Structure 1
Amino acid sequence: MKGQQPPGRVHGPVRRSRLRACAAAFTSLAALAAIGLVAGPAVAVPSAGPCALPRTAAHHSLGLDTWNGSYPRPTRALDAVMIFLSFPDSAPMTTPAQLAADHFPGTSEFFERASYGRFSLRVHPQQNWTRMPQDSAAYAIRRDWSAERRAAYLRDAIRAADASVDFSRYDIVYLVADPDAPGVDSDATKVVNLERPLEADGTEIKRVVTVFERHPPDRNVLAHETGHVFDLPDLYHRPTDGKGDWDTYVGDWDVMGSQFGLAPDLFAWHKWKLGWLDRSQVKCVRGPGTHVVGLEPVAAAPVAGGTVGTRLAVVRTGEDSALAIEARSATGNDKDTCTEGVLLYRVRNQAASGDGPVEVVDTHPHTEACWERSVYPPLADAPLREGESYTVPGTGVRVEVDGRTKAGMWTVRISGPQPVR
């Protein structure tokens, strides 16, 4: 839940120097007790093409031929209310304005860049504290929260805020707890999906982002959690014993893996799913022979006039799998990246959130990079560099990087067996 399925924050019990911290969280617990969200109506996605995997019943499926209508799609401006909760057993040491500044405008700017200006997240922070009826300890807040206590917390929070908040005006609800209250667990941030929505002001509240961060909070935590609100999955791996590396699937690549990642911009596949890339910006590689594709870096801003070039190449490798190919460079949300190059990753539409729906292909399996900064050094140098090539195991697909233009475009040659149609 630190994120919707798990976390929206780093989720992991093991936090190495807050930089190698594991990404966090766990699965988004649904409603007053249920885990998981009722699948919403399927909405056709015009941008889908022959390389688009079909959406499945998996939680946060990365199939994108249809959109799960129970989630808001961020292809328009969305309004979010941020409510600050205090408790009878603690006098707040911060102000609502200070806590709002911990997350905004940073989170809105992250999505503005990631969406190439196609999506605007407008936050409306409350100016005063909303007093909860019970002490913070009474709710037994923790990451793996009891459904009963969690339901009581949500119910009390919405009721307490209803006097000053018109919930009918908002698409997203952030509940921010006083970080200094004794019963607040900073590892419990998550998105709660409500199997039976709460109601206020004639509006159904289907999910809530519950924030229990310290002040200042973990980096990019709200970007991660908000991604769950848009039906994006957790990309980290949670060890069964809670120990070990959480970032073995995608490392630093994509904020849905680790909120501490050095290259947190969303994968191009995610941007395609969310509607920020359309078919003209996705190259579907089909048929025999070698295909030459020019890829603009995923995090690069549109050129003059707002034009977005090709950002993703896709090879279908099976009925429920695909190989995605994109360029990553030190710009935009990825300005602090450890390495640059052409990144390869596998996508599976049957894998649920937290079960590895995306796995980065390590094209340099015998080396590591940026040990002092990376959340998972073995994948920090995963991209192919200029002049390098790699044949992806189990697919027969070969990717060669011819070079990079002065404008930053990467020229890639893709060849291999004919993909599944």
Structure 2
Amino acid sequence: MRLLPPVLLGAITALAATISTTHDHRPSTLTPRANAPTCKLTASNGGYVGGSLHEAFGPSTVCAPSKGLLNTFMFFVDFSDYPASNTGDDTPAKLKEFFAPSMEWYTHSSYGRLNFSLAVDASRFYRMPGNASTYNLGRGTITTESHLKYIRDAVDVYLSAGGKAPGDPYDVVYIVPARNALTIEAAFTTLTPIRSRSGVSFSKFSAVTTGMNTYTHWQYKVINHETGHALCLPDLYPSTGSAGGYVGGWDLMGYIKATGPDYFAWHKWKLGWIDDAQVDCITDRGSTTHTVYPVELKGSAMETKAVVVKRNNTMALVAEVRAKTGVDMTACATGVVLYTVQNADPRGRVAGPIRVIDSTPRSGGCRGEELSDGTLTLERVKTLAVPGWNVTVSVTEKVGEAYRVKVDVY
């Protein structure tokens, strides 16, 4: 979950995903691949404002770097009402091991384009000045102000107790409580630079705090989900209801425990892990055929990773291929995943900015995730007419891990 600065907090509303039935047909002499930049959705102001998160492309001053080096730091805190046991799994050294796989996850998902550098102070727990119960860090009680107070208290305590100040501010800082701090409930991200109250610049872009559900439910990948917010990716789950409601078992921005947790091709394109040359863009009526390769595999620089049908400046339809490999080794279905992308107003966000289209509705899904088996394959559902889009997508052949995908736009 991400939190926005106070100036934006009151402006955020859950917008209905309204879909026009009119297709924006613009003549083009470009090939689908050369035309790829045309399919990028942009915010109404051409980029980001403040801490608003959405699915648009554009420049940003609030997003942590998604390519090259992401310089991050983690330290541990405890409380007088919940002191760390400093035994068993509740020691800084053991917690460091607990979160270590998060770095490897990004290496695989980014095809090596993001070097996730995580420095950890595992020397001790730093005692917070307030009781855990006073910080109001539950899902129903947290505010931007209470989150920032917690973060600044932690940074102040760390520095005053002899913690080393960064020579150059970190991109993202992670503040992790001891395992028994029961009232520090969930994980949150604040998209704002962090300074100590004495003026020490500690992080350039954001701070992440974890909570009890990290240990009891989400495990280490909560770091990957919250870091996704630091990279300016939005939540893909309903503000009320079950996690994964819009995307099922795909993309950990919708469900951290997803069976296919790798980022959607759209997100990888937005983050710069997939190049324009790997995206086929369709803006006109007609029939086209594409060879699409799995999102999980780096492949060659010219392998198509996504086919995008652009409806207008705010909506697109995406077809991508998923395989049981990379960080999706636990996927319970493979094949072509279809989903819609909707750009949010920069002052708020859309309810379900990405929504997976289910080829097998009411099947019950697999492993309890309704949408997880909704792929197009040669063995089950080969063709799907996308509701409301005048678009039909068909799987015609499988070559190795790649699929031949036919797209008809009427």
Q: Please tell me the TM-score bracket, short chain as reference.
A: 0.7 to 0.9
After TM superposition, the structure 1 stretch with the greater mean CA deviation from structure 2, 308-317 or 222-231, is 308-317
Q: What is aligned with 1:236?
A: 237
* Deviation of 1:247 (Å): 2.6
Q: What is aligned with 2:54?
A: 61
> What whole-Å deviation, never above 9, does each CA across 1:277-317 have from its counterpart, x for those lacking one?
111111112333211111111112x24xx646211110101
* Deviation of 1:216 (Å): 6.0
Structure 1: which 5+ runs fail to align? 5-27, 38-45
Q: Do structure 1's residue 389 and structure 2's residue 383 form an aligned pair? A: yes
Structure 2 letter corresponding to 1:150: H
Q: What is aligned with 1:129?
A: 125
Structure 1 letter corresponding to 2:206: R
1:5-84 matches, within 5 Å, as 28-30=3-5, 35=9, 49-56=37-44, 59-64=52-57, 66-84=58-76
Q: Do structure 1's residue 363 and structure 2's residue 359 form an aligned pair? A: yes
Contact 1:338/1:369 (CA < 8 Å) preserved in 2? no
Q: What is aligned with 2:24?
A: none
Contact 1:363/1:384 (CA < 8 Å) preserved in 2? yes
Structure 1 letter corresponding to 2:55: L
Q: TM-score, normalised by structure 2?
A: 0.83
1:255 maps to which of 249, 252, 265: 252
Structure 2: which 5+ runs fail to align? 12-33
Aligned residues: 367
Q: What is aligned with 2:155?
A: 158
Query: Once the two structures are aligned, what percentage of the paired residues are identical?
Result: 30
Residue 266 of structure 2 aligns to a residue whose secondary structure is helix
Residue 159 of structure 1 aligns to a residue whose secondary structure is helix
Give the direction of change, closer, same or farther, for the CA distance of 1:314–1:182 in structure 2 (3 Å limit).
closer
* Deviation of 1:350 (Å): 2.1
Contact 1:235/1:353 (CA < 8 Å) preserved in 2? no
Q: What is aligned with 2:181?
A: 181
Q: What is aligned with 1:13?
A: none
1:404 maps to which of 389, 394, 398: 398
Residue 363 of structure 1 aligns to a residue whose secondary structure is coil
* Deviation of 1:158 (Å): 1.1
* Deviation of 1:360 (Å): 0.6
Q: What is aligned with 2:342?
A: 348
1:89-128 matches, within 5 Å, as 89-93=81-85, 94-104=90-100, 106-127=101-122, 128=124
Give the direction of change, closer, same or farther, for the CA distance of 1:90–1:237 in structure 2 (3 Å limit).
closer
> What whole-Å deviation, never above 9, does each CA across 1:314-341 have from its counterpart, x for those lacking one?
0101231000110011111111111111
Give the direction of change, closer, same or farther, for the CA distance of 1:246–1:217 in structure 2 (3 Å limit).
closer
Q: TM-score, normalised by structure 1?
A: 0.80
> What whole-Å deviation, never above 9, does each CA across 1:159-191 have from its counterpart, x for those lacking one?
111241323341110000112135432xx2110
Aligned equivalents of 2:360 and 2:203: distance in 1?
49
Q: Following superposition, which runs of at least 4 residues in structure 1 exceed 6 angstroms of deviation?
A: none
1:315 maps to which of 309, 333, 356: 309
Residue 234 of structure 1 aligns to a residue whose secondary structure is coil
Contact 1:34/1:147 (CA < 8 Å) preserved in 2? no
Aligned equivalents of 1:171 and 1:101: distance in 2?
21
1:193 maps to which of 158, 171, 191: 191
Give the direction of change, closer, same or farther, for the CA distance of 1:198–1:320 in structure 2 (3 Å limit).
same
> What whole-Å deviation, never above 9, does each CA across 1:207-253 have from its counterpart, x for those lacking one?
210111354661421111110000000000122xxxx4343211111
Give the direction of change, closer, same or farther, for the CA distance of 1:281–1:133 in structure 2 (3 Å limit).
same
Aligned equivalents of 1:190 and 1:308: distance in 2?
37
Contact 1:298/1:326 (CA < 8 Å) preserved in 2? yes
Structure 1 letter corresponding to 2:133: A
> What whole-Å deviation, never above 9, does each CA across 1:18-45 have from its counterpart, x for those lacking one?
xxxxxxxxxx2436x86389xxxxxxxx
Cα RMSD (Å) of the superposition?
A: 2.6
Give the direction of change, closer, same or farther, for the CA distance of 1:221–1:272 in structure 2 (3 Å limit).
same
Contact 1:238/1:354 (CA < 8 Å) preserved in 2? no
Structure 2 letter corresponding to 1:165: K
> What whole-Å deviation, never above 9, does each CA across 1:358-392 have from its counterpart, x for those lacking one?
0111122242332xx23x22x12211112711111
After TM superposition, the structure 1 stretch with the greater mean CA deviation from structure 2, 131-140 or 246-255, is 131-140
Give the direction of change, closer, same or farther, for the CA distance of 1:335–1:164 in structure 2 (3 Å limit).
same
Aligned equivalents of 1:109 and 1:353: distance in 2?
30
Give the direction of change, closer, same or farther, for the CA distance of 1:47–1:101 in structure 2 (3 Å limit).
farther
Residue 152 of structure 1 aligns to a residue whose secondary structure is helix
